[in-house]
Copies of this chain bind each other. A is one copy, B any other.
């Protein structure tokens, strides 16, 4: 399943075919085999359309062919809309005819159980042999608006075929793909290309995103995901989109346990842990939407192509209360409120003496009745240079045309005169008048909360040129043969080689030896009796903690021997273990695991029971750079405990970041490392001590394959 460039290029036939065959073509433009022909004719598709149907000579005015082979032309793309039991034969015909890509509408395959899966596997095998690509089965197809190709039966185009735009949409759900398409059309969000992936027997969402990242017609990519099987392809798609400066908006359903269970019953796909999706989205700057409205608002805003230069928001309202509300949304979004300069405040006061001229700027209902005042307000506010975006609340003025149109026009003109700051409008207007507010660069929304959510997306989306720093895995570490848990010595050695030293400790034969060991170790030590016969050392009086100085250690050892001998008279005593006491610093947890979808992942979190309760962790794909590791650490809610909280000393975050980078790098490079958990690792003012760790290895065949794919 390694994705090679030529495979991605092979998707050209899926979006921009020169010739299209429709197998199972219908004269009824409401049937699956009829709609695509109707849409392509109406859209003015310039390639050849060949209906295939053994019972008709002419379909929708086009010559029909009894079989694919009767066409006698090369076919780039075939749409397969025949009953389930005829699909494999149709795919075989396509392969034999040299079709480059087949879109299989038909359902009844893997989603229906083992028998269907066998049929699906057979189709894939046929396609692989000929090099043909497959979209579906059980999908709604694909279209490319610029190429006027409509290989889909979505009902969305029944009324009209909307003009092309710059959005590329990849949906794992056909129904949801149509839903978004319809809403996009209603809001005049132009779509360039669209694909629904159905069962993903061959082409999956990741590969489609990779392809769209390279399509010049596409500037924003939107994806709807239920669950991925091939994380590597998805990551490749995201990396390509980021490199191309194309923002990605994603809705991933199955966020919650309830949703995950539901997703498992809906498709055959795995739904991964949501936090891991979040980590991957974060890595590539993907903007996550949790509702359709968010998805559409963000897509709308991003598709207009303008970004704020900074995060300073200005708020202009005709109602003070709503201005305060908008400030709440600005704070929620992590944006900042700009500060009205004095000159602006004076100018606004001269326009409306009763105005509140601090930000939020409340120009009172007066400006709603006087568009000249609104124009001057906008000019002054935008020209002040104090704001990177200005949100204007017009409220229900939009419902009164005599008020609304002049206000709208002066705001649009002001935006055109002052393009350096973005203008976002919040207005209640009849549905069909909303697009009229969206001109001259102005973005229009009904609810101000939606405007701010969209602005956040504009501000957070990666800009062209921001490349994802993909870390190469470091050198592999040597492991003993076989699968299982590494013994203590090997685990310690492995971690020490990566900058995570164990606590210092030494064996000593007698009290004098223990004192000498303590001196070499330095600082406070713990003293423990060594005996193969004593399971519970503390109960037997065989543990002394926090001993400082050689005298204390010698005295404790001398007192310990008779005490233990009395408590466990038959135990063999083999001297002492002297260990460094680690009582300072903060306990953290480091974990490395292999996710079935996204491969090696690294987790850092605060250790200890309390924080386990709070689930305060950060996770990312491994390997991570030191800088990324440090960002993960600092993203923890309990990070202040490391960086100096209330006068406590700052701890060695850099050493922890180095260890995370080294550990993640070695883990990614060594497929037979199944899991590593260092818990706790103590971060001290200087350096780290790994107090305990578990390292598991596997036989590794599966992991090696996974690793190679990345």
Q: Which residues of A pack against B, CB within 8 Å?
A: 107-108, 112, 155-156, 158-159, 171-176, 178-179, 182-183, 224, 226, 251, 253-259, 261-263, 265-267, 290-293, 315, 318-325, 327-328, 330-332, 337, 354, 356, 358-360, 362, 365, 395-396, 399-400, 428, 430-431, 447-449, 609-614, 637-638, 640-641, 645-646, 648
- A266-B362, A324-B226 as given contacts; A257 in contact with B319, CB under 8 Å: no
A183: chain B residues within 8 A (beta carbon): 396, 428
A354 CA to B107 CA, complexed, in Å:
10
Cα-based distance from A431 to B267 in the complex (angstroms): 33
Q: Which of B254, B263, B328, B637 contacts A253 (CB 8 A)?
A: B328
> Do the beta carbons of B638 and A175 come within 8 Å of each other?
no
Q: Given that A176-B322, A183-B428, A319-B173 are contacting pairs, would A328 and B610 also be in contact in the complex, using a CB cutoff of 8 Å?
A: no
Evaluate whether A322 and B360 lie within 8 angstroms (CB atoms) in the complex, with A259-B331, A293-B447, A613-B641 already known: no
Chain B hits for A612, CB < 8 A: 646
Residue ID in chain B nearest A430 by CB atoms: B431
Query: A173 to chain B: which residues have CB within 8 Å?
Result: 319-322
Given A182-B428, A356-B266, A430-B431 in contact, is the A321-B226 Cβ separation under 8 Å? yes
Q: A320-B267, A354-B107, A641-B610 are contacts. A330–B258 as well, Cβ < 8 Å? A: yes
Q: For A611, what are the chain B residues with a Cβ–Cβ distance below 8 Å?
A: 610
- What 8 A-B pairs are tightest by C-beta distance, nearest first? A175-B319, A173-B321, A256-B331, A266-B320, A259-B328, A258-B331, A262-B327, A291-B449
A327 CB contact (under 8 Å) in B256, B318, B320: B256
A interface secondary structure, majority: helix
Identical subunits present: 2
Contacts of A610 in B (CB 8 A): 610-611, 638, 641
A173 to chain B, nearest CB (A): 3
A251 to chain B: closest residue by CB: B325
Query: Are A337 and B258 also in contact (CB < 8 A) when A328-B253, A638-B613 are?
Result: yes
Residues of chain B within 8 A of A155, CB atoms compared: 396, 400
Q: A428-B183, A449-B293 are in contact. Are A253 and B332 (CB under 8 A)?
A: no
Residues in B neighbouring A182, C-beta threshold 8 A: 396, 399, 428
Between A and B, 5 residue pairs with Cβ closer than 8 Å are A171-B321, A176-B321, A226-B321, A254-B324, A609-B645
Q: With contacts A108-B354, A176-B319, A259-B324 known, what are 4 further pairs, Cβ within 8 A?
A: A254-B324, A258-B327, A259-B325, A262-B360
Q: Is the CB of A321 within 8 A of B266?
A: yes
